[in-house]
Structure 1
Amino acid sequence: MSTAAAVVTALTFVWLGMVFAISFIEAPLKFRAPGVTLPIGLGIGRLVFRALNAAEIIWAAGILVAVLVGSWLGLAEPIAAVVAIAALAIQVAVVRPALTKRSDAVLAGHEGPRSHAHLVYVGFEVVKVVALIWLGVAVLIGAT
């Protein structure tokens, strides 16, 4: 396995694990914990997802560099990497500001109509997970 492939594999599966752990386990469960109110849950969520997105940006940059400098047998690895990175970029640049606006309103005591931004964010999480699995498997298959 080349150095680029090893870097892509490691970063891909660390990134995938973090998304599973935070987005699909921690996020929904925190609201079920005793004493966690909506404002507390939103506050925790904002901190956790800000940290996750910062780490994701670092991992995405590392994957991008490794994909650009590596030699790949086909287009699967670069395409999967671009899909995962694009999903992250949309989440951070488009969806997260809408979530922040909604959570700001809730924290200020203005419930208002429910936002569909969470569902959009989860949709992009699913796209990202599929792309990361695709990327990791493609690199491992190509390295054999």
Structure 2
Amino acid sequence: MGSAMAALGVAATFVWFGMVLAISFLEAPLKFRAPGVTVPIGLGIGRLVFRALNVAEVVLGAAVVVAVATAAEYGASATVASVVALAALAVQLIVVRPWLSKRTARVLAGDTEGPRSRAHLGYVALEVVKAVALLVAGVALVTG
């Protein structure tokens, strides 16, 4: 059971890490460079993609919690890094996403003149923290 939990922890951590890199740092900025993608269209796509990403992150985060909690061979660095990643996700979902959703709703309703949301910078900063924490957690989980 221990090695299965260890494998689950490693797999879930690196899949989560890969999803954050691929979506947050590749897809999100690149979609606005595609021909014909306006800000409202890009925001509509982003809203769908990030909602799906966040659901996947919650599932993967739960798998990491189960793995780290049940596999005795993990050290403090794996636990701390996992907690940091989960805390960053929680702040994104509970605090930052609602602010971003309000601005996105206004833009999709036609209000393109309002000020840009600073919440986006907070979300990006939390994505960086989360990515680094997941990388550290993944390496710590692999090395035991």
2:93 aligned partner: 92
Q: Could you tell me which amino acid in structure 1 is paired with residue 49 of structure 2? A: V
Displacement after TM superposition at 1:72 (Å): 3.1
Counterpart of 2:136 (choices 120, 134, 137) is 134
Counterpart of 1:112 (choices 103, 111, 114) is 114
Q: Could you tell me which amino acid in structure 2 is paired with residue 23 of structure 1? A: S
1:41 aligned partner: 42
Counting matched residue pairs gives 142
Runs of 4+ aligned residues of structure 1 deviating over 6 Å after TM superposition are none
Distance 2:133 2:5 in 1: 18
Alignment of 1:1-144 (within 5 A): 2-110=3-111, 111-142=113-144
Please give the TM-score of this superposition, normalised by the length of structure 2: 0.95
3-state SS of the aligned residue for 2:110? coil
Distance 1:41 1:101 in 2: 16
Q: CA RMSD of the aligned region, Å?
A: 1.1
Gaps of 5+ in 1: none
3-state SS of the aligned residue for 2:34? coil
Gaps of 5+ in 2: none
Structure 1 73/32 Cα, relative in aligned 2: closer, same or farther at 3 Å? Answer: closer
